[in-house]
Amino acid sequence: MSTSRVAEFDVVLTRYLDIDGAPLGPLPAFAADAADLVPLYRALIRTRTFDAKAVALQRTGRLGTFASSLGQEAVGVGAASAMAADDVLVPSFRDQAAQLWRGVTPVELLLYWGGDERGSDFAGPRGDFPISVPVASHVPHAAGVALALKLRNEARAVLCIIGDGATSKGDFYEALNIAGAWQLPLVVLVNNNQWAISVRREAQSAAQTLAQKAIAAGVPGEQVDGNDVITVHDTVANAIARARAGEGTSLIEALTYRLSDHTTADDARRYRGDAEVSLHWHGEPVARLRQYLVGQGAWSRDDEEHALADAADEMERATEAYLAMAPQPVSAMFDHLFATLPVSLRSERDEAMGGEAGHA
Amino acid sequence: MRDATLVEAINAALARAMQEDERVLVLGEDVGKDGGVFRATDGLLARFGPARVFDTPVAEAAIAGMSVGLAAQGFCPVAEIQFMGFAYAAIDQLLNHAARLRTRTRGRLSCPMVLRTPCGAGVHAPEHHSESGEACFTNIPGLRVVVPSSPRRGYGLLLAAIRDSDPVVFLEPTRLYRAVREPVADDGTSLPLDRCITLREGGDVTLVGWGGVVPEMLAAAERLAAEGTQADVIDVATLVPLDAETILASVAGTGRCVICHEAPLTGGFGAEIAARLAGPGLFSLLAPVERVTGWDTIVPLSRLERHYLPGVERILAAARRSLRHG
Ligand SMILES: Cc1ncc(C[n+]2csc(CCOP(=O)(O)OP(=O)(O)O)c2C)c(N)n1
Ligand SMILES: [Mg+2]
């Protein structure tokens, strides 16, 4: 018998700021001047304010079911801020942080989550995908977009965001495998918020890390502290740079924690204790970056008050605009079914619209 | 006998089935501690333990495929798919394996599994949570397709589905989960899996449908009665195998039929019933067969949901059209 070691791997975890926002060493170049991090901080606050507003609207019957990103804001903000405008975002249902950074407006998001068809179109990033509700089903789309970019020799990249639970799906494994085999310009970012509704990360997979799932696909996989926006931004930026340079796919597992219920339809107290949640408030991304900025003299109490007021103001105005929107016509459900509505469907549309006139 | 909602009746049927037969297992996403997102499996983990109630990873193909393996080994898995929009990933396993295992082994192996999933619109859920995809399953030979529309029928049909020796897809209309309470005797009595259920006998017009539209048909029948027209109301309940006799017998008496379902018109299972009427039922008909269904559109986001769902007014209009003939 002979055995020999034929492959060797390791998975690294990167973090620049410690849990209290103290730097653990020199920061990456983009973060050298703390003042340059202020836009990221504002984006974290903006996302958190949007989420709080959306949850409040749902609680008062003015929005549908909504998935807050409370505690995970740095994942979307860090990643989206590392993208170029012409890169393509292929997001999940909890990715409003990335969507907001990319230019989807709060009103558009509220319309969508409020059940209005018009929220499904956004003025901002025209090539970005809509959020994917079926878990992991968009990873193959992201690989397809990446193949398209590669076929056209464009130096662009695709960022696909999924959850920890999503890494259990065949769609994820299939797409990652192809992306690895074909060296596609794709970055898969796993928001590991430790929970998939009521199922803990440990119950989801026996793998020590989710990052190592990439290794089986021949794709580099690494972990980052997902509550440190500096680390998320830097790591995603590097992965995107590799993708653009023709160096293929990467997977990044961002370690974070879902501080909210799964969605407004969920009651997390059925399956996890408050003590666990309280514990994770220490180290959450907003306070962490704030502590760093304050420590660097780049942020004051005054700045904080103004930033919070600005965000509250923006979301208040967005809410007013959302609530004041005239209702969409009933034909909205037919308008974009096909490029042109087939003749056979016109009578259905007319009948549906007749229902609108009073005899539903 | 206690009053129960549909979801409570389903919970009671699951508990009863697990109690009476230790081969019955429950698996799916969040079915354990959380008790399922609609609470259909509430309390089962506490009562029957982690060797019989499994929270699975997010993996619909594996949930269905493992159920095939468990069933072949003599267990009776009852798998929950969280919403019908996610059941399509399980269709490969159902179509290529669950429904064919008995045939492919000439009866040596069988597949007594149940795949439960909520279906239909009407609860203002997000995208992909409101479809009525029963026709994707009714065209799979070897698979039973059952849709309850009341707490009692939910209880009796689910028990029958679990006790059956072949695979059953069991579709639970979400908007009926908590719509009404009625007395449900938790006495282990099941309902037949090949019988339509006549809910009302009238003799003037037949209203036939399943799932979420059944209460709408009953409400339409009330309104018709006030106008002096008596409707037969039939809950198909077991789409496959279809009890065409009950429907044909009703139409033999009424000569008029309004078929109602929430799924889109084209290729909907109502077309199968219409075809039976156009065949053996043709000479009973006094009026064209009417179909009142969801539009041939994607179920809209929640704001337009009520304009999508076929309701009382459309059923009434169709019945009146039908009654004007002959
Ligand atoms: C294919 C599929 N199955 C089930 C669901 C229902 N569901 C919605 S979110 C979710 C858990 C997802 O967990 P994770 O991937 O960790 O994302 P998170 O919600 O934590 O952001 C489930 C099971 C779904 N949306 N899609
Ligand atoms: Mg998660």
Known active-site residue B124: no
Active-site annotation holder among A271, A282, A336, A346: A271
Query: By CA distance, what is A170's nearest residue in B?
Result: B59
On whether both B145 and B166 belong to a single domain, the answer is yes
Asked if residue B75 and residue B223 are part of one domain, the reply reads no
CA atoms in the 13 A half-sphere facing the CB of B86: 30
Q: Please check whether residues B60 and B168 belong to one and the same domain.
A: yes
From the number of C-beta atoms within 10 Å of its C-beta (0-12, 13-18, 19+), residue A202 rates as exposed
Give how many domains chain B has, as a whole number.
Answer: 2
Contact B82, B64 (CB under 8 A): no
- For residue A233, how far is its CA from the centre of ligand 2 (angstroms)? 20
Residue A94's CB is within 10 A of a number of other CB atoms, namely 26
Last residue of one domain, picked from the residues B137, B156, B184: B184
Provide the shortest C-alpha distance from residue B110 to chain A (in Å): 26
CA distances from B76 to A238, B41, B94, B109, B320 (A): 50, 16, 15, 13, 46
Per-residue pLDDT at A355: 59
Of A197, A227, A224, A213, which Cα lies nearest the Cα of A135? A197
- Residues lower than pLDDT 70 in chain B: 1
Do B218 and B142 have their domain in common?
A: no
Which of B156, B184, B212 is a domain's end point?
A: B184
Taking only the tens place, the pLDDT of each residue in B101-114 is: 999 999 999 999 99
pLDDT at A360 over 80: no
State how far the Cα of B162 lies from the Cα of B19, in Å rounded to an integer.
12
Written as six digits, the tokens of B318 are 């169709």
CB A174 within 8 A of CB A184: no
Q: The tokens of A147 are what?
A: 């193949």
Contact A204 B307 (CB under 8 A): no
Residue range A95-115: mean pLDDT, rounded: 98
Based on the domain organization, do B110 and B218 belong to the same domain? Answer: no
Distance of CA A66 to the CA centre of its chain: 14
pTM over 0.95: yes
> Which residue blocks in B169-243 are alpha helix, DSSP H?
214-226
Count of residues in chain A: 360
In a 3-state reduction of DSSP, which class is residue A356?
helix
Helix A285-295 and helix A229-244, axial crossing angle in degrees, nearest 10: 100
How far is it, in rounded angstroms, from Cα A141 to Cα A132? 10
Binned at pLDDT 50, 70 and 90, residue A359 comes out as very low
| Cβ atoms A177, A183 nearer than 8 A | no
**B27-59 pLDDT per residue, tens:** 999 999 999 999 999 999 999 999 999 999 999
Residue of B303, B306, B309, B316 to mutate when probing chain A, most A C-beta within 10 A: B303
Tell me which chain A residue has its CA closest to the CA of residue B306. Answer: A360
| Residue contact A166–B302, C-beta within 8 A | no
CA A203 / ligand 2 centre spacing (Å): 12
Residue where a domain terminates, one of B184, B215, B240: B184
- Beta partners for A224? A14, A254
Mean per-residue pLDDT, A250-258:
98
Average pLDDT value for chain A:
97
For residue B192, being part of any structural domain is answered with no
The enclosing H or E element of A298 equals none
Domain assignment of residue B190, yes or no? no
CATH of the domain at B118: 3.40.50.970
Q: Buried b vs exposed e over B19-30: b needs ≥16 C-beta within 10 Å? A: eeeebbbbbbbb
**List of chain B residues whose C-beta atoms are within 8 Å of the C-beta of residue A360:** 306-307, 311, 313-314
Are B216 and B98 found together in one domain?
no
Residue B259, classed as helix, strand or coil, is: strand
CA distances from B146 to B28, B119, B142, B179, B237 (A): 19, 12, 13, 19, 6
CB under 8 Å to B48, separation ≥6 — which residues?
B18, B26
- Asked whether the predicted pLDDT for residue A14 surpasses 80, the reply is yes
Residue A289 distance to chain B (closest CA, Å): 33
Give chain A's largest Cα–Cα span: 82
Q: pLDDT band for position A154 (50/70/90)? A: very high
- Nearest to residue B215, comparing CAs of B171, B256, B176, B259? B176
Give CA–CA dist A146/B4, Å, rounded.
51
Buried b vs exposed e over B121-142: b needs ≥16 C-beta within 10 Å? bbbbbbbbbbbbbbbbbbebeb
Q: Both B136 and B10 in a single domain?
A: yes
Task: Report pLDDT digits (tens) over A15-65.
Answer: 999 999 999 999 999 999 999 999 999 999 999 999 999 999 999 999 999
The reply to whether residue B128 touches residue A352, judged by beta carbons under 8 angstroms, is no
Domain that holds residue B42: 2-184
Is the same domain home to B111 and B64?
Answer: yes
What confidence category does residue A147 fall into, taking pLDDT thresholds of 50, 70 and 90?
very high
**Is there a contact between A115 and B124 if contact means CB atoms under 8 Å apart?**
yes
Instruction: Note whether residue B189 is domain-resident.
Output: no
Alpha carbon of A165 to ligand 2 centroid (Å) = 5
Ligand 1 site, residue A195, Cβ cutoff 6 A: yes
pLDDT given at position A279: 97
The length of chain B, given as a count of residues: 326
Q: Which residues surround ligand 2, an ion (CB under 5 A)?
A: A 163-164, 193, 196
Q: What is the tens place of the pLDDT at every residue in A303-326?
A: 999 999 999 999 999 999 999 999
Which one-letter amino acid corresponds to residue A110?
L
| CATH of the structural domain A13-328, one choice from 3.20.20.80, 3.40.1350.10, 3.40.50.1820, 3.40.50.970 | 3.40.50.970
User: Is the CB of A204 less than 8 angstroms away from the CB of B314?
Assistant: no
Phi and psi at residue B321, to the nearest 5°:
-55, -45
Q: How far apart are CA B210 and CA B173, in angstroms?
A: 9
Q: How far is CA B70 from CA B36, B110, B160, B163, in A?
A: 21, 10, 19, 15
Instruction: State the pLDDT at residue A158.
Output: 98
Distance CA B72, CA B167 (A): 11
Q: Which residues of A touch B302 (CB under 8 A)?
A: 64, 114-115
Contacts of A133 in chain B (CB under 8 A): 85, 126-129
B225 touches B202 (CB < 8 A): yes
Task: Categorize the per-residue pLDDT at A133 as very low, low, confident or very high, splitting at 50, 70 and 90.
Answer: very high
Shared domain check, B214 and B176: no
The residue among A227, A254, A228, A256 whose CA lies nearest residue A239 is: A254
Do B203 and B118 belong together in one domain? no
The enclosing domain of B206 has a CATH number of 3.40.50.920
d(CA B156, CA B179): 18
Quick one: pLDDT at residue A124?
85
> For residue B191, is it within any domain?
no
Closest residue to atom 8 of ligand 1, CA basis: A135
- Are both B66 and B180 inside the same structural domain? yes
* A159 DSSP β-pair partners: A89, A187
Residues A171-228 have pLDDT tens digits of: 999 999 999 999 999 999 999 999 999 999 999 999 999 999 999 999 999 999 999 9
The verdict on B124 and B226 lying in the same domain is: no
Q: What is the pLDDT of residues A135-144, one digit of tens each?
A: 999 999 999 9
